[in-house]
């Protein structure tokens, strides 16, 4: 009997050892952060790298235009989508949510327990040993696993959509910083011409004052206007480097890299959008259905519903079956046990009500989001129309000023106007040009604001990849 007992213990030991050996355990691999390396990687972002070339092609950029010679909004946007580190954060959050799907879909882990005893008082040759083995098999009821999986899948989908939402935010910041930078560049060009013209006027007035043709007041006014123009030029020139640093940061590049890139001028559509009944309805539908935060909010609401379904299913207790075998001093005992929590006592009422309240919260937040979208759309449309109306007025004023300047030029060529009149008319035309520049970039900002509400490009239909998969697969 002792031999039989020894064999049984041996087989039990082998069984347990086999279970442990059959498990493919992962080993911990440390991955410390290296700030110096990360900083070096950021500073060496290269728009001419083979990896970025592949990203351009996968995003639909014409291969015949690579390497890029002139960087406009579309090219800089693709650059930001590839290099900007904020997208890596969104991708990491999505991958964490995907890992949550795996956890949610796993079945409950079985358990195993054993017993080994030695009895000091035995008689009649009975074995002093008692040993046993039992397995706990948990069984989930009422569709808990499916509800848990549905919740994880919807949270993962919301995180996936958030990648595209982050991409749009990156594009939006880039667009606005590009507008600010190029507005400053064009304004500096106009101010330089203004300073030059006002300097000519001052010199001519100084000569006339010496000749006794004018009073000192006229010269003082000219000097004050020149000083103001010089101060405006100096202020704008000092502000330009900071604007370029912001642009480089929003593009995911170092300032040294951006300085080596030829930037294109932003163009403005000469034909304003017409907000008739059909186009307004289409814009409203786009804003309410196409916006990424709307789609993410719908996914979070679906997750809240799955959470409520899970808590309701927890009213029904899970069961754990425990089949086992025990050898007790020569006696073979087979058993089948079970256990369960008595959830019928409180029926999980607290967590059910909490989940129901959270679902109502998601619904209320979604309603507020839609209301804000409609309000922002109305404001963006009004600002857009006002900006284009102001732009048309500024362009008409500039045309009138150009006509007067052309007339004075002809009079000067014919000898009917002096040089002071000619330079003054050129200055008036330049002031009208400066006003048009400022209004033009105000119109671009109005376009950018309208695009932010729609989360859809108006100025360039190809500045953001259409499919989210392109954004989820890219990682720097």
Distance CA 385, CA 280 (A): 13
Q: What phi and psi, each to the nearest 5 degrees, are found at residue 135? A: -120, 130
Tokens 């015949």 found at? 64
Nearest to 236 by CA among 431, 438, 401: 438
Q: What phi and psi, each to the nearest 5 degrees, are found at residue 113? A: -145, 150
pLDDT attached to residue 34 = 75
pLDDT attached to residue 413 = 86
Tokens representing 233 are 């030029």
In a domain, residue 19? The reply is no
Q: What is the mean pLDDT of the chain?
A: 85
Percent of the chain with pLDDT over 90: 39
Percent of the chain with pLDDT over 70: 88
How many Å separate Cα 380 from the centre of its chain? 21
In a domain, residue 204? The reply is yes
What band does 1 get if pLDDT is binned at 50, 70 and 90?
A: very low
pLDDT digits (tens, 9 = 90+) for 172-189: 999 999 999 999 999 999
CATH at 391: 1.20.1600.10
111-118 sheet: strands from edge to edge: 111-118, 129-139, 319-328, 331-339
Tokens representing 430 are 């330049």
pLDDT digits (tens, 9 = 90+) for 284-302: 888 888 788 999 999 999 9
Q: Quick check: 87 and 163 in contact, CB under 8 A? A: yes
In a domain, residue 35? The reply is no
Distance CA 462, CA 170 (A): 15
Distance CA 167, CA 339 (A): 51
ω into 67 cis (within 30 of 0): yes
What band does 12 get if pLDDT is binned at 50, 70 and 90?
A: low
Q: At what angle do helices 349-414 and 292-313 cross, to 10 degrees?
A: 180
How many Å separate Cα 369 from the centre of its chain? 18
Instruction: List, in sequence order, every residue forming a beta bridge with 129; answer none if it has no partner.
Output: 118
Sequence-ordered list of residues with C-beta below 8 angstroms from that of 143, at least 6 positions apart, any chain: 309, 313
pLDDT digits (tens, 9 = 90+) for 427-459: 999 999 999 999 999 999 999 999 999 888 876
- 307 versus 330: the higher-pLDDT residue is 307
In a domain, residue 467? The reply is yes
Tokens 């857009």 found at? 384
Q: What phi and psi, each to the nearest 5 degrees, are found at residue 321? A: -90, 140
Tokens representing 314 are 């927890």
What band does 469 get if pLDDT is binned at 50, 70 and 90?
A: low
Q: How many CA atoms lie within 13 A of 49 on its CB side?
A: 13
pLDDT attached to residue 466 = 52
Tally of domains within the chain = 1
Tokens representing 422 are 């000619």
Q: Quick check: 373 and 357 in contact, CB under 8 A? A: no
Total Cβ atoms within 10 A of residue 352: 18
pTM for the whole structure: 0.82
Q: What phi and psi, each to the nearest 5 degrees, are found at residue 103? A: -65, -40
Distance CA 62, CA 402 (A): 40
Tokens 């691999």 found at? 29
Sequence-ordered list of residues with C-beta below 8 angstroms from that of 75, at least 6 positions apart, any chain: 61, 68
Distance CA 16, CA 11 (A): 9
Q: Quick check: 250 and 77 in contact, CB under 8 A? A: no
In a domain, residue 271? The reply is yes
In a domain, residue 31? The reply is no
What range does the domain containing 89 cover? Answer: 2-6+70-473
Is pLDDT of 126 > 80?
A: no
Nearest to 458 by CA among 272, 183, 181, 265: 272
pLDDT digits (tens, 9 = 90+) for 208-241: 888 888 888 988 999 999 999 999 999 999 999 9
Tokens representing 33 are 């952060």
Q: DSSP letter at 251? A: T
In a domain, residue 294? The reply is yes
Q: What phi and psi, each to the nearest 5 degrees, are found at residue 114? A: -140, 170
End-to-end CA distance of the chain: 68
In a domain, residue 12? The reply is no
């Amino acid at each position: 009997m002792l031999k039989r007992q020894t064999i049984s213990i041996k087989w039990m030991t082998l069984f347990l050892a086999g279970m442990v050996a059959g498990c493919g355990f992962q080993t911990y691999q440390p991955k410390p952060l290296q700030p110096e390396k990360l900083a070096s990687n950021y500073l060496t972002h290269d728009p001419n790298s083979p990896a970025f070339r592949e990203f351009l092609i996968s995003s639909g950029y014409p291969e015949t235009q690579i390497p890029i010679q002139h960087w406009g909004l579309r090219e800089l946007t693709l650059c930001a989508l590839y290099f900007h580190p904020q997208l890596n954060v969104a991708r990491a959050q999505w991958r964490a949510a995907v890992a949550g799907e795996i956890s949610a879909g796993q079945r409950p882990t079985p358990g195993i327990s054993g017993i080994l005893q030695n009895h000091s008082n035995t008689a009649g040759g009975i074995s002093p040993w008692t040993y046993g083995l039992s397995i706990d098999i948990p069984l989930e009821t009422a569709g808990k696993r499916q509800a848990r999986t549905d919740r994880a899948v919807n949270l993962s989908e919301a995180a996936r959509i958030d990648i595209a939402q982050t991409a749009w935010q990156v594009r939006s910041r880039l667009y606005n910083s590009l507008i600010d930078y190029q507005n400053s560049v064009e304004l500096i060009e106009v101010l330089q011409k203004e300073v030059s013209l006002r300097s000519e006027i001052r010199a001519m007035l100084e000569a006339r004052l010496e000749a006794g043709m004018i009073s000192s007041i006229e010269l003082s006014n000219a000097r004050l206007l020149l000083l103001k123009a010089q101060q405006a030029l100096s202020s704008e020139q000092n502000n330009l480097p900071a604007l370029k640093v912001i642009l480089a940061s929003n593009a995911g590049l170092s300032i040294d890299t951006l300085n080596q890139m030829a930037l294109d001028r932003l163009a403005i559509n000469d034909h304003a959008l017409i907000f008739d009944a059909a186009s307004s309805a289409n814009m409203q539908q786009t804003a309410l259905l196409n916006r990424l935060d709307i789609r993410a909010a719908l996914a979070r609401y679906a997750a809240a519903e799955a959470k409520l379904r899970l808590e309701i299913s927890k009213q029904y207790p899970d069961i754990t079956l425990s089949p086992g075998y025990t050898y007790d001093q020569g006696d073979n005992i087979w058993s089948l046990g079970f256990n369960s929590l008595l959830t019928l006592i409180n029926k999980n009422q607290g967590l059910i009500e909490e989940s129901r309240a959270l679902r109502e919260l998601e619904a209320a937040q979604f309603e507020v989001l839609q209301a804000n979208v409609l309000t922002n759309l109305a404001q963006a449309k009004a600002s857009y129309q006002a900006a284009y109306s102001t732009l048309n007025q500024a362009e008409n004023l500039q045309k009138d000023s150009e006509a007067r300047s052309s007339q004075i030029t002809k009079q000067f060529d014919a000898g009917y106007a002096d040089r002071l009149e000619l330079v003054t008319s050129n200055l008036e035309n330049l002031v009208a040009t400066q006003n048009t520049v400022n209004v033009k970039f105000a119109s671009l900002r109005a376009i950018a604001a309208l695009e932010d509400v729609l989360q859809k490009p108006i100025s360039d239909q190809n500045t953001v990849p259409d499919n989210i998969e392109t954004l989820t697969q890219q990682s720097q």
